[in-house]
Structure 1
Amino acid sequence: MFRNAHYGAYSRAWQDYLESCNVNTSKFGTGGTKTMSWLFQELKEGSSFLEQPSDSPRPWSMPGRPKIMRVVEPIFIRLRFRSRVLVQERQQFPDGRMRVRNMLLAEKKEPRDSGGLLAAIHRGIHEELGVSLEDLGRDDVIRYRPDTYHFEIEQIDSASYPGLPSSYRTHHVQVEILETGLDVFLHCGLPEFSDFVTKEKTAQGEVTLFWRWDDVPTALRKG
């Protein structure tokens, strides 16, 4: 397993390392994919890490296949108010490239989430929607529904980093916005369920996020 202390300090050295592990990085940063710097930041933050796949027969253990795998622990949040669920329609990278998402609000679990899953949920809503952590900690703003929790593991090629196999250890959760917490989410198109835009600050610059409110059956098909 490769943790942060082993990551190269320079982007080129890091890219060379991935290439030596049979990872073709030529598509990183093209179309709707993320750049090498995004991956490096993930690894630096601890929101993902790399490990060598086990010796069990899997596609990437074949000759010529990547010898390294990205491991990430995403949390898909069904943020619900009344009969609607929040969906991220698309995002615009700092360099102007647009990426279609059509998925629930999602956040990667990180080591800094010392409060566990709930802390990561609060951080995700805070970073992507601009709601303060103080407000999210109030009992009358949101309610986490542990009875709807679901966990799954899947191993697929990463859409963000094509050519890099990824293991997703995914948490599915539901969080409800309470009527008494509506004032905290007025900038999120409520209560009219209007489309809206937020800005998220990242190490690579400001990312623009485009949101809409879908009916529950439609939203559930997205995660």
Structure 2
Amino acid sequence: MMEKESPPPAAAQATQPTDPLPHPGPAPMRPPSPPRPPLAFPTLDSLAAFLRPRLPPQALASWGAAPGTKTLLNLFLELSHGDCALHLPATPPPRVVRDVHVATVRIRNRCGARLVETRQLLSDGRIRSRGPRPLSEKMRPGESPEAAAARAVDEELGESARVRILGAAEARVEERESASYPGLPARYVLHAVDAEVVDGVPEDGEFETEETGEDEGCGGAITVKRHYWEWVKDDGDSEHKEVAAAAGAPAR
């Protein structure tokens, strides 16, 4: 019968010195939390039920009734198309915020004058003052400012308008109550895009164009039917007011 070999002494097992434990350094910084996803609403009633307790009393009743405002259906369509998003701030008070990215197109003619919109004819027959303000378009998810600017030219100035898109400047943020939806705080991210007329647009005086990009056949939604334009001389103060108008500020 063979005898079992005894295990070697513990000291004999360690043939290499043990490396010392590394000194713990500072913990790595965690990446910032991703932005909260926008709120989604499957029906018009679900949107109304969400907004009613988060808006001032009678705010919803004024939408579409007060001059220059839009309806709840308009907001529902904007959300459905990705033209804007609703978010609940992470800090109190728990009020909802409408988040909109806007391409403001600063079109100039050969004389250096800027094109501004002075008013609009709405589908309910009302005339809405526009500030004046530059050609503007709500940006869609994944859309660049330049692409939104080109789409705005086609939809508001017409397919015959040829405008050269030059590039976008750094975005700026304006926070104010929405003029279209009173009582609803809004955060406008404004992307200024420079452009110049090539052809197909009158380059002096006033003119008007038909809107081709608004939803048709949506009962209860207020749409734009015609745009009224004017060329204005370059003025730093006027340009600031036009940008503010693009962010929903009332005309002063």
Q: TM-score range by the shorter chain?
A: 0.7 to 0.9
Deviations for 1:144-188, whole angstroms, at most 9, x for unmatched residues? 145xx13111221111111000111111121112xxx22x32xxx
Structure 2: 5+ residue runs without aligned partners? Answer: 1-35, 216-220, 244-252
1:58 — aligned with what? Answer: none
Q: Counterpart of 1:150 in 2: which secondary structure? A: coil
Q: What is the distance in 2 between the residues matched to 1:122 and 1:14? A: 31
Q: Counterpart of 1:216 in 2: which secondary structure? A: coil
Q: Alpha-carbon deviation of 1:67?
A: 1.9
Structure 1: 5+ residue runs without aligned partners? Answer: 56-60
Count of matched residue pairs: 194
Aligned partners of 1:150 and 1:173 also within 8 Å: no
State how 1:18-29 maps to structure 2 within 5 Å. Answer: 18-22=51-55, 24-29=59-64
For 1:89, the aligned partner's letter is T
State how 1:55-74 maps to structure 2 within 5 Å. Answer: 55=91, 61-62=92-93, 67-74=95-102
2:128 — aligned with what? Answer: 99
Q: Which has the higher contact order (CA 8 A, sep 6+)?
A: 1
Is structure 2 residue 48 aligned with structure 1 residue 15?
A: yes
Q: What is the distance in 2 between the residues matched to 1:125 and 1:35? A: 25
Q: Counterpart of 2:63 in 1: which secondary structure? A: coil
Aligned partners of 1:2 and 1:50 also within 8 Å: no
For 1:16, the aligned partner's letter is A
Q: Which has the higher strand share?
A: 1
Q: What is the distance in 2 between the residues matched to 1:3 and 1:97? A: 32
**Residue from 173, 178, 187 that aligns with 1:167:** 187
TM-score, normalised to structure 2, is 0.70
Q: Alpha-carbon deviation of 1:128?
A: 0.8
The higher radius of gyration belongs to: 2
1:43 — aligned with what? Answer: 79
State how 1:1-223 maps to structure 2 within 5 Å. Answer: 1=36, 3=38, 6-9=40-43, 11-22=44-55, 24-29=59-64, 30-55=66-91, 61-62=92-93, 67-82=95-110, 83-101=112-130, 102-111=132-141, 113=143, 116-131=144-159, 142-146=164-168, 149-177=169-197, 181-182=198-199, 184-185=200-201, 189-190=202-203, 193-201=204-212, 202-203=214-215, 204=221, 205-217=223-235, 219-221=238-240, 222-223=242-243
Q: CA RMSD in A?
A: 2.2
Percent identity between the two aligned chains: 30
Specify whether residues 2 and 21 from structure 1 end up closer, same or farther in structure 2 by C-alpha distance, changes over 3 A only.
farther
Aligned partners of 1:85 and 1:219 also within 8 Å: no
